[in-house]
Amino acid sequence: MNYPVWQLGIPGGLLIAFIAVIHVFVSHFAVGGGAYLVLTERKAYRENDAALLSYVREHSKFFALLTVVFGAVTGVGIWITIGLVSPEATSSLIHTFVWGWAIEWVFFFVEIAAILIYAYNWDTLDKATHLKIGWIYFVAAWMSLAIINGILTYMLTPGTWLETKQFWDGFFNPTYWPSLVLRTLFAMALAGVFGLFTATDLDGAVREKTVRWAGRWLLIGMVLTPLAGIWYAAKLPAFAKQYFLELTSPQHTVRMVLACTTVAAVLALLAMIRPQWWRRPVLTLALLASFAALAGGEYLREFSRKPFAIANYIYANDVRVASVNEIADSGGMLKHAKWLREANGSLVDYGHQVYAMQCSNCHSISGYRALRTRVRGWDPQFAAAIVPSLHLTRGPMPEFAGDKQDAAALGTYLATLAPMTITIQSGNEAESGQEVFEMRCAMCHSIHGRMRPLSLAGGDVDAIVTMTNMLPDVNPQMPPFTGNDSERHALAVWLSAQK
């Protein structure tokens, strides 16, 4: 409401996810890979293995080039992107945690300096100093993870911060420790994957040795990560746990993540037992599996937080939870939305602006989380009535922040997206009744299952028809039934026939 909305045509949340996932992939490698570098270097000294040492030298240059440029710049890129997509939430995070970020920045500059010195001074520094600088790098890199982890987990589980507004209450929040352990373990797995990446094309005996060694990192990381995941899941807020019980999308993602973790672990085992089989196709599969596991994990974390950007404080559409009632009760968006364009008299245009401000961070019109499929058949009256109850529908939705006029405008706009009329076939009322149900009831109700089941099986058709005439009286949050009489009848016939 405070800021303009960047209307690019794709949901901003998707843009953040895109930048964030590639950053997280590289930055976790940057953490785990630090330990991998020094421990491999130490191993090479202890075993007096020149070939292994030469491998870790080359690996360190690849490491620096990838993490210092791509890792660091995409990290800043997340900042830039969240500022563009969720300025209200970003501003709140910055006001709350600017000193957390400042501390992270200290570790960041130590980290950058250390890795550049480490990677480019193999010949100048003595072994002990070189190893020390490697350790400095690793500690600084891990610490920057430990700091940003506090801010990131706060967004999902702000804990007692919501009452106290104290820095450390938000920082050491309920998911801080499980998330830190989870990320550290995954960082270890990624160190293994990237170790395998540079080891695959080696020649001679060092190849098998390095593949075995890196494989061990991948295996340990991939086996332990799911255990930390269980700990993390146990600390999720109740509303998030509910999603995993009710919604198919997180359920499928959990399965996908577990499958990918298993694939990566099995490949790691292969690397250790049969290093000679480790070739580029296997490497590619391991990289893809790790990336998919990470992307899935990040998706689950983001999904768990819906409908919030900061749980119970700011919604994902950048509206503050505390301001919803004020906006609804005193003047609506006309008064509160600073960036409303001059109304040109068209309700649809006004409704489109409401869509941009309250829906477009998560929903596109026809692409990602498309509205067109979600509002199929909605008419203006029905849409205007259901908009204020959207947070009660299936899936995680924020409360609508607007008054009746705003809801009417949004409803009018939504009704233009996918208008549809159902033609009732006289011989086949039951089938048409199902269509009516899908269009007019299914966003809130199911027949069986958890979502407000309608058990009207065997009910009197005429009684059901009568009931459709008084839905808002049954429950003021229900929209009126806006279909015609033959639709009513078909729906009643179908509902009555369900078992």
Question: Applying CB under 8 A, which residues contact another protein?
Answer: 2-9, 15, 19, 65, 68-70, 72-74, 76-77, 79-81, 83-84, 87, 90-92, 94-96, 98-103, 105-110, 112-114, 116-117, 121, 123-126, 129, 133, 136, 140, 165, 167-168, 320, 334, 338-342, 356
Residue 93 to residue 315: CA distance in whole angstroms: 13
Which residue lies nearer to another protein by CB, 7 or 484? 7
Which residue lies nearer to another protein by CB, 106 or 273? 106
Sorted by sequence, the CB contacts under 8 Å of residue 459 that are 6+ apart come out as 492, 495, 496
Which residue lies nearer to another protein by CB, 333 or 414? 333
Which residue lies nearer to another protein by CB, 86 or 210? 86
Q: What are the start-end ranges of the H helices in 71-175?
A: 72-85, 87-120, 127-156, 161-164, 167-171
Name the nearest CA neighbour of 184 among 216, 152, 141, 124.
Answer: 141
Q: Is the dihedral of CA 115, 116, 120, 125 positive or negative?
A: negative
Least Å distance between CB 347 and another protein? Answer: 18
Which residue lies nearer to another protein by CB, 31 or 117? 117
Residue 150 Cα to chain centre, angstroms: 17
Least Å distance between CB 250 and another protein? Answer: 28
Residue 63 corresponds to which tokens in the numbers above?
């490491």
Contact criterion met (CB below 8 Å) for 4 and 339: yes
Contact criterion met (CB below 8 Å) for 72 and 112: yes
Which residue lies nearer to another protein by CB, 273 or 322? 322
Least Å distance between CB 127 and another protein? Answer: 11
State the first-to-last Cα distance of the chain, in angstroms, to the nearest integer.
46
Least Å distance between CB 481 and another protein? Answer: 36
Q: What are the start-end ranges of the H helices in 200-320?
A: 205-234, 238-246, 248-273, 280-305
Residue 246 to residue 250: CA distance in whole angstroms: 9
Residue 210 corresponds to which tokens in the numbers above?
């390095």
- The torsion of the CA quartet 212, 217, 223, 227, rounded to 10 degrees, works out to 170
Which residue lies nearer to another protein by CB, 80 or 420? 80
Which residue lies nearer to another protein by CB, 15 or 324? 15
Q: How far is CA 289 from CA 25, 187, 195, 196, in A?
A: 12, 14, 15, 14
Least Å distance between CB 290 and another protein? Answer: 22
Residue 211 to residue 280: CA distance in whole angstroms: 12
Least Å distance between CB 343 and another protein? Answer: 10
Which residue lies nearer to another protein by CB, 4 or 367? 4
Least Å distance between CB 372 and another protein? Answer: 20
Least Å distance between CB 155 and another protein? Answer: 14
Sorted by sequence, the CB contacts under 8 Å of residue 203 that are 6+ apart come out as none
Least Å distance between CB 82 and another protein? Answer: 10
